[in-house]
Chain A
């Protein structure tokens, strides 16, 4: 029974992104396994329901003269008894049809009984917690510890005249716990969500909270368990009948037909094989239906991951190749004018595009992006959700989440194209020359290893030193990032440390290999203001000290203003504006950058003033316009903006902008 509880059902709650009902039905119908299962099941159910019409004979009528007749394909078989007859001359086909009727009806009502009991128990246990929860769950534990089949045999053995109701009760009541456990765990997860608190806040009674708010999110799991349970109950019913504890003879059921057939296995093998086949096909149909349903109803699976991706990443299916070429090529032209004063370039990203092919569309997460990272400089990349800034960062070290891939352009690190070298070489690069820090340090560190062992391991991967020396180096590395008590930290585990401390450990770890380039993706967004400032200052100091270039990815333009030398503003997968920080912030050219600067309330803001608002929302990633993606929200929108995606033009020293306001001027100058 416990296999069932874990069989393909995740106790995770259905996420809020879960689709509406009609949408779900459509997805179910698209699921091939599910459809096959449903068709099979429908045929079986129709046969069972139509038994009185379809069956060639009465299942109980004996015809001893014609006993053990073979099926029609056997020698001496006829279509009068298409599947032959048994020892008493009863028609096997008819008996199987009526048997299906009995088996399915018993299983259906047993499952109904169990699911109603289980749902009620699970809901009340999860919602009340407290003593009711304890009592119900302990009761369930006791029951799971009790051998279910034995109990059923004992109970049914006492009853001399067993009818369907007895079997339904015996099969249905004990399985409540399967439902109750999963429902309870879902309820516990759901009730922690703010929408239940919100329901409490608007004054909803506990009953209303449960019925109107929690129940709609958990009932579907009951459906999935019920389907799996259905197959299980049919098997158990067959087993009991086979052992002689099913329906009192002569009422047919698959188990009892099988048991009778077994006695004549040698002379009439079809008597045992046919009911066995019926059971197998039925249970198989049920299970693949349940499996398909679980796929669709369980948001953890592939389907919904793709859906979430599609919501996050921008897509543009309409931009033509001509425009894209425009967008990509202009950036390199003025490069020849660079003078020698500028530090040499460490990383050159040229016309890079990253796409995520999904089921029915392609998400273009990064579109023709070009930029440089100079040695010992910090480039700040800013953008909102879906701007493609994180995908851009992962493409530099070739760590794009599946199914994303680079479709255009190159990433030249010290002159080598990272997108074209082998996996081993990239891995080598990642370990030695390029380091990466993520937003959530706790999930980037190994939770079961102490900080010390993780650092020592990393050091010894790259250098041949003794463990003791490696520990000294680790200790020094922690001192470098401002950890006052490195020995104490080394012996601790990530969960014992605060977020700020973990992030400092991550920086120390990333800097151990003395990389030439460090990519920090929202390194401080999960930290508090005071900690954020400390961590970023440490990051700046240590990268300067080791002459490491830094790419700082964040949504906070003020952070970039303080900590970066250059800034790159992204919107909908494209570069809006790029250039030296002071130039971009003090002499902003792109309306989006301007709007970003004006719409964020800062500490400098005067009280009583009103924020400028960027109208509208971020563009729908599945329906980006052919022109400038910011056009609809832009105060300076012109006709051309809706039609042509602007390409980058130079507006100042190293300061480029992709906006028609400037490209038209530029063109005039050229003329």
Chain B
């Protein structure tokens, strides 16, 4: 069976001028640099990485909110081009990070949720009110809220409106782009559980983007770790946490503070994340990597399936963790 979503060698480069005085030198930032992965119906793929790693650009590109530089996106086995983006808009939707920025300030909640229905002619003017009320109820809002404006709501309630808008076209895939990052902790759990409930009820597929490994672990079946525009590790959630094979993943996991307090050995990353406009040659992580060798500076590792269902982009993925053997190819 075809995957619900398949992304092949997707690239998104931004060409801009460098220097604050706008010098003539053009600089290319490879925000997404050859990313391939698949997502199956009903699963949640977590996408983690630090700021500037390209995770947000990746999801916007695969939804054609940004035009890809190259690469292919298949939906239900069919390749989608930019011209067919309108078809995609009925199958895939996005929930944004900032609930204060992502709702139009001068539209009523009801109109915001109704607009996708009207655009895609999924409801006429008479039935739209009923559909909107149902959608609001589905995300835990009272139907009366339809007559109010976004500024009358708290962040958590606004994010519910954002989710209702995304669900209006009954998409199969919902991308949550840091959808809970700007919420207060006591509200965050409500929204996370809402996402989970909706997934069960509607058989939704999620791509859950976050810098917060705890959130991603809670939500995802599989997790992809990004570093400087590339996926460096992709595995089932339990597997990734139990056996991180990429040194960057290990550093990332060890950096999370724990309520059990200090005392754990923490992997200290040397140096700063490199400038995405001028990444180091070879493996982009090698200058900060503890197990880097000569090869790493010369040749970029490919994402390969080293263990069943566990792909890693590292020349020495199994060397350090004490497991012998090469990739399964």
Using a CB–CB cutoff of 8 Å, the interface residues on chain A facing chain B are: 14-20, 193-195, 197-205, 208, 212-213, 216-217, 384-385, 495, 498, 500-501, 528-534, 536-537, 555-559, 561-563, 581-582, 585, 595-597, 599-605, 607, 610-615, 617-618, 633
Contact = CB atoms under 8 A, between A and B. Distances in A.
Contacts, number: 209
Interface in B253-267: 253, 255-262, 266
A203 B189 contact: no
A601 B189 contact: yes
Contact of A193 (B51, B93, B101, B184): B101
Contact of A202 (B89, B154, B253): B89
A212 B257 contact: no
A529 B65 CA distance: 28
A201 B65 contact: yes
Contacts of B185: 384, 555, 557, 596, 599-600
5 contacts: A202-B165, A597-B259, A614-B189, A614-B190, A617-B157
Closest 8 CB pairs of A and B: A601-B218, A203-B89, A528-B50, A216-B106, A202-B116, A194-B102, A599-B189, A384-B184
B261 A581 contact: yes
Q: Which of B90, B100, B251 has the most CB of A within 10 A?
A: B100
Given A197-B96, A613-B190, A533 B257 contact: yes
Interface stretch (B128-136, B268-276, B305-313): B268-276
Nearest to A307: B151
Given A203-B90, A599-B188, A614-B189, A194 B101 contact: yes
B295 interface: no
B205 interface: no
Contacts of A195: 101-105
A202 B115 contact: yes
A557 B105 contact: no
Contact of B94 (A198, A216, A532): A198
Interface in B1-53: 20, 50-51
Interface string B266-293: 1011001100000000000000000000
Contacts of A556: 257
Nearest to B151: A17
A495 B20 contact: yes
Given A528-B211, A618-B154, A618-B187, A602 B105 contact: no
Nearest to A618: B184
Given A197-B65, A202-B165, A385-B184, A16 B151 contact: yes
Contacts of B162: 198
A202 B63 CA distance: 11
Contacts of B186: 384, 595-596, 599, 614, 618, 633
B73 interface: no
A353 B55 CA distance: 44
B238 interface: yes
A561 B102 contact: no
A147 to B, nearest CB: 31
B105 A529 contact: no
Contact of A208 (B119, B165, B255, B261): B119
Contact of A601 (B90, B115, B192, B238): B192
Given A16-B103, A533-B257, A204 B252 contact: no
A556 B218 CA distance: 17
A12 B105 CA distance: 15
B150 interface: yes
Nearest to B263: A562
A297 to B, nearest CB: 12
Contacts of A384: 184-186
Contact of B269 (A16, A201, A534, A601): A534
B159 to A, nearest CB: 11
Contact size range, B: 35 or more
B169 interface: yes
Nearest to A387: B184
A201 B98 CA distance: 16
Contact of B169 (A202, A561, A604, A612): A202
A14 B100 CA distance: 13
Nearest to B87: A203
Contacts of B261: 561-562, 581-582, 585
Contacts of B98: 194
Nearest to B271: A484
B316 interface: no
B198 interface: no
Contacts of A199: 104, 115
A543 to B, nearest CB: 14
A35 to B, nearest CB: 24
A613 to B, nearest CB: 5
Contacts of B119: 202-205, 208
Contacts of B317: none
Given A201-B166, A562-B262, 17 more contacts: A193-B101, A194-B102, A198-B102, A198-B162, A204-B119, A213-B107, A501-B272, A530-B50, A530-B255, A530-B269, A533-B257, A561-B258, A563-B257, A585-B261, A602-B256, A610-B196, A611-B189
A603 B214 contact: yes
B94 A201 contact: yes
Contacts of B190: 613-615
A356 to B, nearest CB: 19
Interface string B198-225: 0000000000000111110111000000
Nearest to B267: A530
A530 B273 CA distance: 10
Nearest to B116: A202
Given A19-B151, A203-B116, A217 B105 contact: yes
B66 to A, nearest CB: 9
Nearest to B196: A610
B104 to A, nearest CB: 5
Contacts of B120: 203
A533 B102 contact: no
A533 B266 contact: yes
Contacts of A14: 105
B154 A217 contact: no
Contacts of A529: 50, 211, 213, 252, 255-256
Contact of A605 (B156, B214, B269, B273): B214
Interface string B110-130: 000001100110000000000
Given A203-B86, A384-B185, A605 B218 contact: yes
A18 B151 contact: yes
Given A385-B184, A528-B51, A558 B217 contact: no
Q: Which of A19, A202, A501, A615 has the most CB of B within 10 A?
A: A202
Contacts of B215: 601
B226 interface: no
Nearest to B241: A603
Contacts of B101: 16, 193-195
Given A532-B255, A611-B192, A600 B116 contact: no
A601 B183 CA distance: 13
A208 B114 CA distance: 14
B149 interface: yes
Contacts of B196: 610
B102 A600 contact: no
B104 A562 contact: no
Q: Which of B190, B257, B260, B272 has the most CB of A within 10 A?
A: B257
Given A202-B168, A202-B169, A602 B214 contact: yes
B267 to A, nearest CB: 9
Given A384-B186, A611-B218, A213 B20 contact: no
B259 A617 contact: no
A421 to B, nearest CB: 35
B193 interface: yes
Contacts of B266: 533, 537
Contacts of A536: 257
Contacts of A534: 268-269
B2 to A, nearest CB: 24
Contacts of A559: 257
Nearest to A555: B185
